[in-house]
Every structure is written in structure tokens, then in C-alpha cells.
Amino acid sequence: MAYPKEYKYTKEHEWIHPQGNTGLVGITDYAQESLGDIVFVELPKAGAVVGRGKSFGTVESVKAVSELYAPASGKVTEINQDLNQAPETINKDAHRAWMIKLELSDPKELDSLLTAEQYEAYVAEEKTH
């Protein structure tokens, strides 16, 4: 699965798709593959403020529980309600199954995130461990 070039990535396997001062956030294809069948997503309410690197929710597969960490600070303006009913969407198309929309406090924070190439290299490295 190709990692979109216009996204930025975290080492915790989240992606953010920046659009001006906002960004959509989800988990990467590698993350969904490691988790297996996703059956539950817990997301914050719209209006919640999240800090960079802080947990904003949880994703669960049948056998694993995993925290979700915000790639950047900001206010949650929207959440993807569809995931409550159909969490398996994340397995099917992780890079489109966004979880939250963030209004970024400081778009410059994104500069320190990984590019698609860097993330791919990071994952390749992680796989060999």
C-alpha cells in the first residue's frame, strides 16, 4: 500500500493530511495490518482540545488495544462517526478512514513529522526487528 506523499506521519503510526490550518488524522496501513481486524474505535467529542503526542482515543482489534496519539496540537472540529458503526473501514482503506479533523494550533508542528519516504523507511526497519 502506497503512503500518500501529501500526508505526514508519526512513529506511533498515525497520519495527518494537512489542509491549510486543519488536518485529517488516521492510522497508517502498517498500523491496521499489525492490529488485525478492527472492531472498536473510541474518539473524542468535537470541541476537545488535544496536545501533540497526547492520546486522543483508542482503537481495538479483536486481540489488541492501542492508544491513538495526536500528530499535532489542536482542537477537534469533527469526528468520523461512520467508524463507530463500521470500524472495519480502517482495515479496508486506512489512509482514507480518517478519525478526527483537527484545527491546528501551530501548523509548523507538522514540519517535524515524517514524510512518506521517511515513514516507509521507518516501517521497513521496524519490520526487520
Partner 1 sequence: MITYLVLRTSATHSDTRFAQGIRLSSTTETKTLRKTALNSLHRRFGAKMVDFGGWDMPVEYPASGGLMKEHLAVRTAVGMFDVSHMGDILIRGPQALEAAQWVSMNDVSKLQEGQAQYSALLYPEGTFVDDVIVHKLGQNDYLLVINAGTREKDHSWVRKNVSRFRCHADDVGDYYTQIAIQGPKAEATLQKLTDVDLSQIKNYWFKHGTVCGLPNTLIARTGYTAEDGFEIYVPSDVATSERVWNEVAEAGKEFGILPCGLGARNTLRLEGKMALYGHEISDTINVWEAALDRFCKMEKGDFVGRSALEKAKAQGLQRVLVGLEAVDRGIPRDDYKVFDGAGKQIGYVTSGSYAPFLKKNIALAYVPPEFSEIGTEVFVEIRGQQVKCKVVPTPFYKRPKKAA
Nearer to partner 1, 5 or 63 (CB): 63
In the list 34, 73, 89, 105, the residue contacting partner 1 (rule: CB under 8 A) is 34
Nearer to partner 1, 39 or 116 (CB): 39
- The DSSP output letter for 111 is G
**111 phi and psi angles, rounded to 5 deg:** -60, -30
> Hey, how many other C-beta atoms are within 10 angstroms of the C-beta on 115?
14
Which residues have C-beta within 8 Å of that of residue 112, sequence separation ≥ 6?
none
Site for partner 1 in 70-99 (CB under 8 A): 84
Whether 106 contacts 48, CB under 8 Å: no
In the list 1, 51, 53, 67, the residue contacting partner 1 (rule: CB under 8 A) is 67
- Binding residues for partner 1, rule: CB under 8 A, are 12-14, 27, 31, 33-37, 39-40, 42, 58-69, 84, 126, 129
